[in-house]
Chain A
Amino acid sequence: MRRTMTFVGVALIGIFLVAAVPALAHHAFAAAFDETKPINLQGKVTKVELVNPHSWIWIDVIGKDGKVVNWGIEGGPPSNLFRNGITKASLPVGTEIKLFGYQAKSGESKGVGVFVEYLDGRKVFMGGSAPGASGPAAAPGKP
């Protein structure tokens, strides 16, 4: 009986330890995104997908040649964005925003976001896998 209790106790501690590891790391930054390709976009929000395991903010960016390119920028899960102040209501379609992040290694018009900047200067961190995306305090600098 005592051994059973010990076993159950150890098992429960193990489960809680596993659960305590932030379940954020669906995939790692370096596998999909390129640290040497920082992106700095400005455009109008076309779609906000606050979904697990990663959220996506889509914006239409007008290039130098006048062509509109729809960019998809990945952020953390909905709870992280919510904590940082991004909700469906805070980013209505059509809002003009700036997005800072790193482009996908594949060269697609996709990337991972560090932060959203509103035109009035407010910054909201995107809580994903990008370096610095958890906020200024947690910014690790160049790895």
Chain B
Amino acid sequence: MKIAVCIKQVPTRDSQPRLDKARTWVLEQDAFEMNEPDAYALEEALRLREQHGGEVVVCSAGPSRVAQVIREALARGADRAIHVEGDALAAADAFVVADALAAAMKEEQFDLVLTGLQSDDQGFAQTGVILAERLGLTHATIVMEVKVEGDALKVKRELEGGWFQWVGMPLPALLTIQSGINQLRYATLKGIMAAKKKDVRKAAAPAAAEPRQRIARLYVPEKGKKTEMLSGSPQEAARALVQKLRDEARVLS
């Protein structure tokens, strides 16, 4: 089976992003990592390859620094990689990224494409599904378990409130993987050495990418802390307080 895994390089979870001068994006920083749900998608792809054979191809869209997470994925066991390179992809929206990936992935005719369910930076939760539509694939989101049955798939989807559902679908397909569904492996020393020799195909980002949204302003969330005095008799004040606790603070029902 020919499996693609789309990974995104994001700022580390522990870092506090700093705003740029225009306050529409963040400053470039040194600490990046593989987007967490994407790491689980990679692990799932490696396990499927171990069961069913085939190859795992890592696909990533971003500036040259993305090579770091591509090497990491290759060290963990992916066979080769496609890097769609473009500086504008660092802050691009889901449509631009999905179109860039689709252009580079189309000719490969993958049987299965795995992505994380959303990114830790912009958190669109769109890129995978848009990519599925662009590649003409069927898809399922928030996937917990993948079973390959011949040329079809059976996947366990998470629904709200502790509910789950099995969904069957034909291959080729795209799945967005939930975080935490398997145990991640570490790169071995042998894997790290082998990664240096693995093939990374570079593709240029499509020139005329048309963004679908613009960040007008980016800011640190306003944490409101205000004191309000309730006047009136004790009865009136208590009534007003209960109303505020119910309607504004929503701690009473």
A and B interact physically = no
Chain B residues in the interface with A (C-beta under 8 A): none
